[in-house]
Amino acid sequence: INFLACQLVALLFAIPFRSLLSVEKVGTKTRHYVETVLGVLLTIFCFGYQIWHLLVQSLVSYAVMAYGGRRFSHALVFAFSMIYLSVCHIYRQVYDYGGYTLDITGPLMIQTQKLTSLAFALHDGRYKDQSRLSADQKQHVVSKLPSMLQYLSFMFYFHGIMVGPLTFYNDYIAFIDGTNYIKPGGNAAASGSRKHPAEHLNRVVIKKLLVASACCTGMMILPGLFFPPEKLNTPEYYNMTFFERMMFLLGVMTLAKHKYYFAWILGDALNNAAGLGFSGYDAQGNPQFDLTDNVDVYGVEFSTSLKVNIDSWNKKTLVWLRRVVYDRAPFYNTLAVFACSAFWHGFYPAYYITFGSGAFMTIVTRQVRRKIRPYFQKSPSFSFFYDVLTFTFCRFANAYLAMPFLVLEFQACYYMYKSLYFYLHILTLIGFITLMFVPTPKQARRQSPPGGTLAQSSTERPASTTHERMTENKARGNGNGVSTDGSTVVQRLAHKAQDNETNGNMVGGSTVETGGQSRKEEGGLDNAGQNKSVNNSGSTLWQGEKEQSMLIGEVEGGGGETQAGAGPASQPKIQFDLHTKSE
Residue 376 pLDDT > 80, yes or no? yes
Mean pLDDT to the nearest integer, 355-359: 91
Provide, rounded to the nearest whole percent, the portion of the chain with pLDDT above 90: 57
Instruction: Tell me if residue 425 is catalytic.
Output: no
Residue 331 banded pLDDT, cuts 50, 70, 90: confident
- The reported pLDDT for the residue numbered 445 is 54
Supply the DSSP string of 532-580, one letter for each residue.
Answer: EEE-TT--EEEE-SS-S-HHHH---TTS------SPPTTSPEE-----P
- Is the separation of the CB atoms in 552 and 310 below 8 Å? yes
Do 304 and 290 contact (CB within 8 A), yes or no? no
Res 285 pLDDT > 60: yes
Nearest to 274 by CA among 581, 16, 578: 16
Beta bridge partners of 519: 512
DSSP code for 187: -
Which residues are CB-contacts of 78 (< 8 A; sequence separation ≥ 6)?
116, 119, 120, 324
Long-range contacts of 57-65 (CB under 8 A, 24+ apart): 57/81, 57/84, 57/85, 57/108, 57/111, 57/112, 57/115, 58/111, 58/115, 58/151, 58/152, 58/155, 60/84, 61/115, 61/119, 62/148, 62/151, 64/119, 65/118, 65/119, 65/122, 65/145
Look over the chain and give the mean of its residue pLDDT values, rounded to a whole number: 78
pLDDT at residue 74, as a whole number:
94
Overall average pLDDT of the 473-501 stretch: 38
For 286-314, b/e burial (b = at least 16 CB within 10 A) is ebbbbbbbbbbbebbbbbbbbbbbbbbbb
The answer on pLDDT for 22 being more than 50 is: yes
**Has residue 484 got a pLDDT over 50?**
no
> Which of 57-71, 419-433, 438-452 is predicted least confidently?
438-452
Give the pLDDT of residue 64.
96
pLDDT of residue 526: 37
Residue 89 among the catalytic residues: no
Measured on CA atoms in the order 404, 405, 407, 408, is the torsion positive or negative?
positive
Task: Give the contacts of 437 (CB within 8 A, at least 6 positions apart).
Answer: none
Q: What pLDDT, on the 0 to 100 scale, is given for residue 269?
A: 96
Write down the catalytic residue from 294, 314, 473, 480: 314
Is 353 a residue whose pLDDT tops 50?
Answer: yes
Asked if residue 271 has pLDDT above 70, the reply is: yes
Q: Which residue has the higher pLDDT, 185 or 383?
A: 383
Nearest CA among 424, 448, 445, 85 for reference residue 250:
424
Q: What is the pLDDT of residue 157?
A: 97
**Position 334 pLDDT exceeds 50:** yes
Q: 269, 268, 265: which is closest to 203 by C-alpha?
A: 269
Which long-range CB contacts under 8 A does 438-445 form with residues at least 24 apart? 438/371, 438/372, 439/371, 440/370, 440/371, 440/558, 441/371, 441/374, 441/375, 443/374, 443/377, 444/370, 444/371, 444/373, 444/374, 444/557, 444/558, 445/507, 445/508, 445/525, 445/527, 445/529, 445/558, 445/559
Weakest-pLDDT range from 93-102, 142-151, 442-451? 442-451
Q: How confident is the model at residue 195 (pLDDT cuts 50, 70, 90)?
A: low
Structure confidence at residue 98 as a pLDDT band (50, 70, 90): confident
Q: Are 485 and 184 in contact (CB under 8 A)?
A: yes
77 — pLDDT class (breaks 50, 70, 90)? very high
- As a whole-number percent, the residues of the chain with pLDDT over 70 amount to 73
Answer positive or negative: Cα dihedral of 439, 442, 445, 451.
Answer: negative
Which of 89, 123, 140, 345 is the catalytic position?
Answer: 345
The yes-or-no verdict on residue 3 having pLDDT over 60 is: yes
> Is the model more confident about 259 or about 564?
259
553 touches 474 (CB < 8 A) = yes
pLDDT of residue 188: 42
Whether the model clears a pTM of 0.85, i.e. scores above it, the answer is no
What average pLDDT does this structure show over 43-50? 93
Q: So what's the pLDDT on residue 515?
A: 36
State the pLDDT confidence band at 1, using cuts at 50, 70 and 90: confident
| Nearest-5° Cα angle at 276, 274 to 279 | 150
- CB-CB contact of 460 with 469 (8 Å): no
